[in-house]
């Protein structure tokens, strides 16, 4: 039902559209098959996406990415509408199925992460809109028998002098035309939507309870399962007695799966009671020996020895010995849970010849491949229905597909359609954490206190080792462990530098967590910068400005944050400022935090001024929300959040002991965007990274106490 | 057992001790009310009983009695409650998972305190966690909702 219509491999599918215009970007099927056979690691060369213009003039945009709060449900349609010139109110949004057509343009698999959606889709989604517009205009020109040059497009109509035709009236005719082989995109000066504050399109369903998240999936015959999982990482089921569990009203089945024992019931509450009544004996294995206090001490010992080399220039040890002064500091951060508001869940309906999976996921391709392997079905018989995600933060982008593979296993073992619902405790204790890290930083300075030698040893688990992404590691270096150190702008002019990495393995599963390695590298770098400034008796801002000479973008961001925060101007008694700058995901962020300490020595952050250079800000309203949210997400671990493990058991379980930021602790965040012509960067994560250090530096300015361990505690 | 949910009388047969949350979600299909923690820590499950905000995850359905249950689905028929309108104007939502609870908590606050201060908002809303960190806009939107209510 499809035909190739251009050399560039754009296909137009009438099967999907009926009497409407469908713009589809596909690579030819044969190429798809070849690329699939070579595995999801290899990126497809051609962009894919589509939109549908219906006879009622509605424009439906298919999202290749998951909406998890970041606002892509609005931003991607903005890109289409900018070029299509449709009426904004005619936009409808759908999530795409899992298919190669929707592979991430840069990463070669369908996924959402790395603060990369807007940057990677900026051309593709605009091009889709431009192609559709051009076909509609040509259809109108044929109808009116006029030259396309005398036509213009306005809010969903093609206009010819006094006459006009709606997109809907032209959709059928446009559908019959060959798509253009190339289109010209508007210059920035003509943008009507891009760069303007645009309100979210998903608000109506999200303020009425209609928005469907994975946990809201319901259909006749669907059961709910709760799984008893290993009490320590890597433990396996030795035996279990389900007698009492089966006696619980509503419990239908108890089945063993690779991750544990699943209680399948008619509803969640029954499944939960059933699990409480289960008696499972576990083979604990080496996971029972994990102790985070001991682990941190072992990291400390490792840090005194050089690891795999991530960056080397000159002879650091010689330069250190010649320095007029040496500063040494260690910084550490704990394991963190993502703790998205929606506890993990996944719904699976497995039939003889197909498998349907409803899930809020960031990793469709990986999840689909995992399910195909487990069920023995071909990839195209595994249908991933991506729902709204009740937060992702990286936890729903798991190379191990843990919550999906488990649900498929439960469906297989039980033979019924089933939703596996994790409890909050399951979610907190289920692993795949931001890893614990320790940095040892030794800096030799000149007579004025500026660095001559920088020796930096990073210790912490690799996110990539042991996953299908391990091939991304080079010479033993997982870049995500050292990002923000080895590429730090502060180190550019330092004569001798050595950044090395130890990546010890532990039984604790780890995963990317909003802003990934930058969460700890920014803390170490920006704390050390502050310590150096203090030792040099130089103002922390002036010290950084001096080191960043020759980095105009960084300078501009830092200066803007300082200016808006009133850096150097007096504050009310009992309050102090701290600053931090960090670049990640192609964007540069500087933050000035204002901090006070209450009678119980609790740190209060009253105000955060944040300056950002992310290149083009496509939707400033969404950008502001992402920056506010990122700072909030970072402040939880700055002040409270930490996981501890004793005898292999994660000690924290719910929001009572895994403490996150609440509304009464939310600072007033002011967001300032540097007008920039630089290449577009991401904005979902970069503002998370610097807040730890900005607050720690403010605490030092206020109290004279240097806190080098997260969460920051004065008492 | 009879319950009055969103001004309608419904008949349900839950097992003893089942929290109201799961009666709403699993037995009545009202999935707007969310499960977040199960121990009254996050507020995602907030509903009203006779106008008072309660955490439905720790409210045994047996204890509801004749009190009227209002969920997000029953707050307004067409998203025109001042809190919902303010939420849209201020562009509060991100992932949206906590928002039913946030909105129900805010509506209850405004019903008892027409013009809340920041301190009132902190006190009433600190029990509702938002992991996306929409707190600043939530605060702004509660003030906005108060203004919308006053001008009604």
Assign residue A406 the CATH number of its domain.
3.30.365.10
Residues 94-123 on B with a CB inside 8 Å of A are 94-100, 103, 121-123
The pLDDT assigned to A21 comes to 66
The pLDDT assigned to A688 comes to 98
CA A663 to chain centre: 22
SS3 content of chain B, % helix, strand, coil (to 5): 45, 15, 45
CB contact under 8 A, B31 and A212: yes
B118, pLDDT greater than 50 = yes
CB contact under 8 A, B18 and A208: no
The answer to whether residue A600 is domain-embedded is yes
* Number of C-beta neighbours around residue A545 at 10 A: 17
On whether the CB atoms of residues B94 and B71 are closer than 8 A, the answer is no
Q: Which residues of A touch B71 (CB under 8 A)?
A: 209
Region A620-648 average pLDDT: 98
Region A320-341 average pLDDT: 97
Residues 2-31 on B with a CB inside 8 Å of A are 14-15, 18-19, 22, 25-27, 29-31
- What is the Cα–Cα distance from A106 to A115, expressed in whole angstroms? 12
Same domain, A236 and A329: no
End-to-end CA distance of chain B: 38
Q: Which residues of B touch A662 (CB under 8 A)?
A: 126-127, 129, 135
A534, pLDDT greater than 70 = yes
Region A687-710 average pLDDT: 98
A395, pLDDT greater than 60 = yes
- What is the Cα–Cα distance from A464 to A481, expressed in whole angstroms? 10
Region A279-293 average pLDDT: 97
Q: Which residues of B touch A393 (CB under 8 A)?
A: 131
The pLDDT assigned to A472 comes to 85
Boundary (domain end) residue, out of A206, A230, A253: A206
By Cβ distance, the residue of B15, B32, B41 closest to A250 is B15
- What is the Cα–Cα distance from A371 to A378, expressed in whole angstroms? 9
Q: Which residue ranges form the domains of chain B, and what is each CATH number?
A: 2-74 (3.10.20.30), 82-150 (1.10.150.120)
On whether the CB atoms of residues A509 and A429 are closer than 8 A, the answer is no
Tell me which chain B residue has its CA closest to the CA of residue A248. B15
CB contact under 8 A, B38 and A629: no
Q: What is the pLDDT of residues A228-264, one digit of tens each?
A: 999 999 999 999 999 999 999 999 999 999 999 999 9
Structurally, how many domains does chain A consist of?
A: 3
Q: What is the pLDDT of residues A203-238, one digit of tens each?
A: 999 999 999 999 999 999 999 999 999 999 999 999
The answer to whether residue A712 is domain-embedded is no
On whether the CB atoms of residues B19 and B60 are closer than 8 A, the answer is yes
Q: What is the pLDDT of residues A134-190, one digit of tens each?
A: 999 999 999 999 999 999 999 999 999 999 999 999 999 998 888 888 889 999 999
CB contact under 8 A, B37 and A660: no
Same domain, A325 and A350: no
Q: How far is B136 from chain A (nearest CA, A)?
A: 7
CB contact under 8 A, A663 and B100: no
Same domain, A36 and A168: yes
The answer to whether residue A197 is domain-embedded is yes
CB contact under 8 A, A203 and B36: no
Q: Which residues of B touch A387 (CB under 8 A)?
A: none
What is the band of B152 on the pLDDT scale with cuts at 50, 70, 90?
A: confident
Same domain, A564 and A647: yes
Same domain, A486 and A368: no
What is the band of A426 on the pLDDT scale with cuts at 50, 70, 90?
A: very high
Q: Are strands A437-445 and A451-460 parallel, antiparallel or unpaired?
A: antiparallel
Q: What is the pLDDT of residues A2-52, one digit of tens each?
A: 222 232 233 333 333 345 666 654 333 333 333 333 333 333 223 335 788
The answer to whether residue A512 is domain-embedded is yes
DSSP state of A620: H
- What is the Cα–Cα distance from A634 to A639, expressed in whole angstroms? 9
CB contact under 8 A, B133 and A629: yes
Q: How far is B17 from chain A (nearest CA, A)?
A: 10
The pLDDT assigned to A30 comes to 31
Same domain, A272 and A140: no
What number of residues does chain A have? 715
CB contact under 8 A, A632 and B32: no
CB contact under 8 A, A423 and B84: no
The answer to whether residue A473 is domain-embedded is yes
The number of CA neighbours under 13 Å toward the Cβ of A589 is: 37
Q: Is A267 helix (H, G, I), strand (E, B) or coil?
A: coil
Same domain, A224 and A269: yes
Same domain, A229 and A322: no
Q: Is A4 helix (H, G, I), strand (E, B) or coil?
A: strand
Q: What is the pLDDT of residues A291-308, one digit of tens each?
A: 999 999 999 999 999 999
Same domain, A594 and A649: yes
By Cβ distance, the residue of B26, B88, B96 closest to A388 is B96
The pLDDT assigned to A44 comes to 24
A129-142 burial, b at 16+ Cβ within 10 Å, e below that, comes to bbbbbbbbbbbbbe
- What is the Cα–Cα distance from A445 to A494, expressed in whole angstroms? 10
The pLDDT assigned to A469 comes to 85
Q: What is the mean pLDDT of chain B?
A: 97
The ipTM, to two decimals, is 0.98
The pLDDT assigned to A46 comes to 30
The pLDDT assigned to A22 comes to 64
By Cβ distance, the residue of B18, B97, B132 closest to A629 is B132
Boundary (domain end) residue, out of A206, A240, A274: A206
The answer to whether residue A714 is domain-embedded is no
End-to-end CA distance of chain A: 69
Residues 32-61 on B with a CB inside 8 Å of A are 32-39, 41-42, 44
CB contact under 8 A, A631 and B131: no
List strands edge to edge, sheet with A11-13: A2-4, A11-13, A21-25, A49-53, A59-63, A91-95
What number of residues does chain B have? 152
The pLDDT assigned to A23 comes to 60
By Cβ distance, the residue of B22, B42, B97 closest to A213 is B97
And the tokens for A440?
Answer: 């040892």
Boundary (domain end) residue, out of A421, A456, A488: A421
Output A373 or A26, whichever has higher pLDDT. A373
Name the residue among A128, A108, A106 with its Cα closest to residue A25.
Answer: A128
Q: Which residues of A touch B27 (CB under 8 A)?
A: 267
Q: Which residues of A touch B19 (CB under 8 A)?
A: 269
Tell me which chain B residue has its CA closest to the CA of residue A389. B95
Q: What is the mean pLDDT of chain A?
A: 92
Q: Is A701 helix (H, G, I), strand (E, B) or coil?
A: helix
Cis peptide before A711 (omega within 30 of 0): yes
Quote the domain boundaries for residue A297: 292-335+433-703
CB contact under 8 A, A654 and B38: yes
Q: Which of A24-38, A49-63, A108-122, A636-650 has the lowest average pLDDT?
A: A24-38
């Amino acid at each position: 039902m499809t035909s190739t219509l251009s050399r560039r491999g754009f296909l137009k599918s009438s099967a999907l559209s009926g009497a409407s215009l469908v713009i589809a970007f596909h690579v030819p099927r044969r190429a798809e098959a070849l690329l699939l056979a070579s595995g999801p690691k290899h990126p497809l060369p051609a962009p894919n996406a589509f939109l549908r213009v219906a006879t009622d003039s509605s424009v439906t945009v298919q999202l290749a990415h998951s909406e998890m709060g970041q606002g892509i449900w609005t931003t991607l349609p903005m890109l289409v509408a900018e070029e299509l010139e449709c009426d904004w109110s005619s936009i409808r949004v759908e999530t795409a199925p899992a298919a190669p057509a929707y592979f991430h343009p840069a990463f070669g698999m369908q996924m959402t992460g790395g603060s990369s959606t807007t940057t990677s889709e900026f051309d593709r989604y605009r091009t889709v809109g431009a192609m559709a517009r051009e076909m509609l205009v040509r259809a109108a020109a044929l109808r009116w028998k006029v030259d396309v040059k005398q036509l213009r497009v306005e809010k969903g109509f093609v206009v010819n002098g006094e006459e006009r035709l709606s997109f809907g009236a032209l959709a059928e005719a446009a559908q019959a035309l060959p798509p253009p082989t190339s289109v010209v995109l508007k210059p920035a000066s003509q943008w009507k939507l891009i760069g303007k504050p645009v309100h979210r399109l998903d608000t109506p369903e999200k303020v009425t309870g209609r928005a469907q998240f994975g946990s809201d999936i319901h259909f006749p015959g669907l059961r709910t399962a709760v799984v008893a999982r290993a009490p320590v990482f890597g433990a396996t089921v030795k035996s279990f007695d389900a007698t009492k569990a089966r006696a619980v009203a509503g419990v239908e089945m108890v089945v063993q799966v690779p991750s544990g024992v699943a209680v399948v019931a008619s509803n969640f509450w029954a499944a939960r009671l059933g699990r409480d009544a289960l008696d499972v004996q576990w083979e604990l294995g080496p996971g029972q020996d994990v102790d985070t206090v001991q682990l941190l001490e072992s990291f400390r010992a490792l840090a005194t020895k050089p690891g795999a080399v991530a960056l080397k220039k000159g002879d650091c040890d010689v330069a250190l010995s010649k320095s007029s002064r040496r500063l040494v500091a260690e910084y550490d951060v704990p394991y963190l849970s993502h703790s998205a508001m929606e506890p993990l869940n996944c719904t699976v309906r497995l039939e003889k010849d197909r498998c349907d999976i409803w899930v809020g996921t960031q990793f469709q391709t990986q999840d689909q491949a995992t399910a195909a392997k487990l069920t023995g079905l071909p990839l195209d018989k595994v249908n991933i229905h991506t729902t709204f995600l009740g937060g992702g933060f990286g936890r729903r982008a798991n190379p191990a597909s843990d919550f999906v593979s488990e649900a498929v296993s439960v469906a297989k073992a039980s033979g019924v359609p089933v939703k596996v619902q994790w409890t909050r405790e399951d979610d907190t204790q289920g692993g795949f954490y931001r890893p614990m890290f320790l940095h040892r930083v030794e800096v030799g300075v000149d007579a004025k206190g500026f660095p001559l030698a920088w020796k930096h040893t990073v210790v912490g688990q690799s996110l990539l080792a042991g996953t299908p992404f391990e091939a991304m590691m080079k010479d033993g270096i997982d870049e995500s462990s050292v990002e923000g150190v080895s590429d730090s702008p502060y180190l550019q002019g330092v004569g001798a530098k050595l950044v090395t990495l130890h990546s010890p393995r532990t039984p604790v599963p780890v995963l990317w967590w909003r802003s990934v390695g930058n969460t700890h590298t920014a803390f170490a770098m920006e704390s050390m910068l502050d310590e150096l400034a203090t030792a040099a008796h130089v103002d922390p801002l002036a010290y950084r400005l001096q080191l960043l000479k020759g980095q105009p973008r960084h300078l501009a961001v830092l200066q803007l944050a300082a200016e808006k925060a009133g850096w150097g101007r007096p504050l009310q008694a009992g309050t102090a400022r701290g600053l931090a700058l960090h670049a990640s995901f192609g964007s540069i962020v500087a933050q000035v935090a204002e901090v006070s300490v209450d009678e119980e020595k609790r740190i209060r952050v009253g105000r955060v001024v944040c300056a950002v250079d992310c290149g083009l800000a496509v939707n400033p309203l969404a950008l502001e929300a992402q920056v506010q949210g990122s700072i909030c997400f970072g402040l939880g671990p700055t002040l409270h959040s930490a996981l501890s493990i004793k005898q292999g058991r994660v000690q924290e379980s719910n929001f009572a002991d895994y403490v996150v930021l609440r509304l009464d602790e939310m600072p007033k965040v002011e967001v300032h965007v540097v007008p920039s012509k630089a290449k577009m960067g991401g904005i979902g994560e970069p503002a998370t990274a610097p807040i730890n250090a900005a607050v720690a530096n403010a605490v030092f300015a206020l109290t004279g106490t240097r806190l080098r361990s997260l969460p920051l505690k004065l008492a | 057992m009879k319950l009055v949910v969103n001004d309608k009388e419904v008949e349900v047969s839950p097992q003893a001790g089942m929290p109201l949350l799961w009666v709403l979600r699993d037995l009545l299909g009202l999935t707007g009310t969310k499960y977040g923690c199960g121990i009254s820590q996050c507020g995602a499950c907030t509903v009203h009983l006779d106008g008072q905000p309660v955490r439905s995850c720790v409210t045994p359905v047996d204890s509801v009695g004749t009190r009227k249950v209002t969920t997000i689905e029953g707050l307004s028929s067409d998203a025109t409650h001042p809190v919902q309108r303010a939420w849209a104007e201020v562009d509060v939502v991100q992932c949206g998972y906590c928002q039913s609870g946030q909105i129900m908590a805010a509506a209850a606050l405004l019903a008892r305190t027409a013009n809340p201060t920041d301190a009132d908002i902190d006190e009433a809303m600190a029990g509702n966690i938002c992991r996306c960190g929409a707190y600043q806009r939530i605060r702004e939107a509660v003030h906005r909702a108060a203004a919308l209510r006053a001008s009604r």
